[in-house]
Structure 1
Amino acid sequence: MTDYETALRNTLTFFPSNARTVGCWFHHNQAVWKNMKRKGYLNLTNSNECTMKALIMLLALPLLLSADIQRAFDLVRIFAINHNVPMVDLFDYYQNFWLRRVGVDALSVNRLPRRTNNCVESFHNGLRMKFKVIYLNLWIFLDHLSHLNHNTHITLTQLSNNLRPTRKQTTNVIKNLKSIRDSTQDYSLGLITMWEFLSRIAHVTSAYDNQQRN
C-alpha cells in the first residue's frame, strides 16, 4: 500500500511480483479534497448540500470493487448534473487522474483488512511522543524503543493472522468500521443498490469532510 507517489508506485510495478499494489484511501481523500479547494469549490461545498453529497460520494468510490468504480463514478456525475452541481473540472480531474492514470485496481480497497497506511505515520508519531525530551538517557531511550517495537510486533502479528489489533479505538472509528463492513456485505449480497451503498458510506466519509472544514 502506497501514498500514490509516482516514483514509489513505478518502482513497485517494475519488478515482477504476485503482490498487488494498492493506494491508501486516506491519501486519496486528501488529494481529492485539496484539488477541490484548489479549483475554488470550497465555498460551494459548504453552502450547497448536493455539492457536498457529490464530493463525499467521490471519496467513497475506493470502497467498491474495482469493476464497479467506473459505473459508480458515472452515477455520481449524473447526480451532480441533475442537481446543477457546477464541479465539471473536479469530475474531469477524477476521471483523468484517478480512473485512467492510477487505475481502478490500485484505487479499490474493497474488503482489505487495512484501507490506509496511516499505521506507519502513527508509528512515527509514537516515536516523537516517546522521545520528546531534548536530552534523553541512552538506557531510557533503548527501553522506550524496545517497548514500542514490542507493541508494534504484537499488532503486526495480529494483522497477519486476520485478527483485530488490541489497541484502543474511538467509538466513532468502531462505528465507521461497522458501517463499512455491513454496507459492503449488504451490497455484495444484492440487498442494497450501488446508490444506496454510496449514500450509506457518505456518512462515513462526511466525518473527514467535517474535519477538513473545521
Structure 2
Amino acid sequence: MPDLGLPRLVLAGRTVTYDADLPIGAICWRRVGIEAVDHRTGASGAYAIVTIALQLGIAGQGLPSITEETKYFLLGSETPRTVKPGGSPLSLERFALTKAFVPDDTLLFQFSALGFNSHKIHIDRAYATDVEGYPDLVVNGGLSTLLLTEFARNDLGVRPRSLKLKFLAPLFANRTMTFGAEKGEGAWMFTIFDDQQRPAVEAEMSI
C-alpha cells in the first residue's frame, strides 16, 4: 500500500475471477501491484481510492488462474470516526436460503495471522474501540468473502466463475452475521446482514 500520508484504511470492494483451479501442492506464481491511485477531497478532507491488482497462476503457465482487484479507501487521521450502518433493517423472507454465523475473537486472530494482516482493528479490541471508535473488533473483509464463498459452495453447491463484492458497513466480532442468497439470471445475489438485519455486504456471483 502506498504511503500517501493517509493512515486509515477501509476496504471498499473486491472483484475476483476464477479461470482455472489451483491444485493443492502445485507450485504457483503471484503478481501483485498498485493498479490505480485516485486522490479526492470530500467534506471530511483529503482521501484516496487505491486499487490493488493480484494474479495467481500455476508455475510454467503464463495465464493466471485467479485474478483479484481490490479497492481501498485511504482516509486521513482527521476523518470523523463514526460507524455508519449500511442501510435500514430488511426482511430476510425474499431469500431462497439464509444462514447465520457468529465470528469470534479466535477466528479473527487466526484469519489475520494466516494472511499476515496486522491491522489492529481486527486483533486489538482496545485500539478498535478506543482509537477507531468501533463497538468491537472488526471482521476482516477477506474473512467475510471466504465465509460467503463457503456458504455458496457448501450450502448451495455453487461453483463461481466470478465474484463481485461491495462493502457497505463493518461487521463486528461476537455479533451475528446472516448470509442471504437469491438466484438471478446466470448469477446468485448475496447480502450479508449485521446483527440488526442491516445490509453490510452485497455480492454477485456468476456461475
Structure (1 or 2) with the greater strand fraction: 2
Superposition TM-score, scaled by structure 1 size = 0.25
Structure (1 or 2) with the greater helix fraction: 1
Superposition TM-score, scaled by structure 2 size = 0.26
